[in-house]
Structure 1
């Protein structure tokens, strides 16, 4: 059975693995401003595919619900249309309905795919009280490639922990953009160079970078990624799907 990805925009991608369809961090709003307290996140690019065009989705892998660049208004509405949303305990409590906690290092079977919750840290050490808890995911199954979905993670130490416990990984879906927070003057996600290093740590055969453009607080865009991977001799591992197209992933 083939493994495919359809990049929707921002952190949103539709993964099909073993016939099971997973959607990452739904963001379907058009470009515009998204206030967070006294700050504003600015969305620059709308989705390539709308929620009504996705077809059936078996589960949403929601890294976190606290920030609109990972769950915007239309994305939040979409969650009530799916049978299962996996994330943190806080996400399950705030979203309700189909949302449930996926604890760290524990798994749940969705169809024939095992989904395991893994750590993510959305900023520097000690920033969790400001950014909130975030979840990553590892998907596995008999005769299937292993897939790591990083969520908003800024820590290569955590990537190493995941490699040590569940690696090597066949396909790594890495959130990048090197987002910067004015609230604590720090980077919140991996940059392109760190994404390439993460690929090495995971021994990933295929790397799909997402969440690498489309928001004003990103300090890098998608053009930084190919150069970073070429510098480490990893260009053959890199897959950057055009928005809206379904791409078959090798492993």
Structure 2
């Protein structure tokens, strides 16, 4: 069993530490107030800053970047951080854009992180659909990550990435059988596209988790931005309608302070 420390910095940004490894998901460290354009006339304003300043973050071994082309997953300060990380794992198209030490994966592909004195980490890219059917030409390539290392009891650790609920996601989850899920929620929407959603709502997440019954579900990517349509209050209201065995598996990470979990 591994003792893993999660620090939720804000939005999708989480520092994951175990057995000498320091991994960071989707780095967003800009201050609040700026509006970011996502293309096709769509934009959003950042409402809150990071709970942990980048200057206090410390060294990062690898960045797990679900996609590089939206400011709520990689902002200007986050881009600066990439140059200090040993490795950035991201989409194949994102790796071409970023260059440097970026390593690109397509859904289903795997790579291994290795370092002396630490357990090897197998990283497998999982499918994401960042919006409704046929939206990929607009929303771009996105992946999630399944992480496996020796000694896991409640593993693999799955970082879903920005995605709605869809068939390929459900199939991948059933194959992975994750024990712990870092779940991107928020029900992202924009005035220009009306009721369409670009990330999972709590009800969609419940459908997904009912099929795989993970040990622990950790919601992220639901606060700090104008385009999140479902914050923690809305998620908790929907969870009241979920079966108790699933509802009891949800655990909120405190923003800005570390939480230890046994994986």
Q: 1:166 aligns with which of 176, 188, 196?
A: 176
Change (3 A) 1:219 1:68: same
* Range 158-167 or range 93-102, more displaced: 158-167
1:128 paired with 2:140, answer no
Partner of 1:72: 75
Q: 2:232 aligns with which of 215, 218, 222?
A: 222
Q: 2:102 aligns with which of 96, 99, 104?
A: 99
Q: Distance in 2 between matches of 1:17 and 1:116?
A: 18
Offset at 1:210? 0.4
Partner of 2:117: none
Offset at 1:122? 0.1
Q: 2:217 aligns with which of 178, 182, 207?
A: 207
Q: Distance in 2 between matches of 1:200 and 1:54?
A: 35
Provide the alpha-carbon RMSD of the alignment. 1.6
Runs of at least 5 residues in structure 1 that lack an aligned partner in the other structure: none
Q: Distance in 2 between matches of 1:183 and 1:82?
A: 37
Does the 8 A contact of 2:174 with 2:211 survive in 1? Answer: no
Partner of 1:4: 5
Offset at 1:182? 4.2
* Range 228-237 or range 135-144, more displaced: 228-237
Does the 8 A contact of 1:22 with 1:61 survive in 2? Answer: yes
Residue-pair matches, total: 250
Runs of at least 5 residues in structure 2 that lack an aligned partner in the other structure: 115-119
Does the 8 A contact of 2:128 with 2:161 survive in 1? Answer: yes
Q: 1:179 aligns with which of 174, 188, 192?
A: 188
Normalising by structure 2, what TM-score?
0.89
Does the 8 A contact of 2:82 with 2:88 survive in 1? Answer: yes
Q: Distance in 2 between matches of 1:18 and 1:164?
A: 27
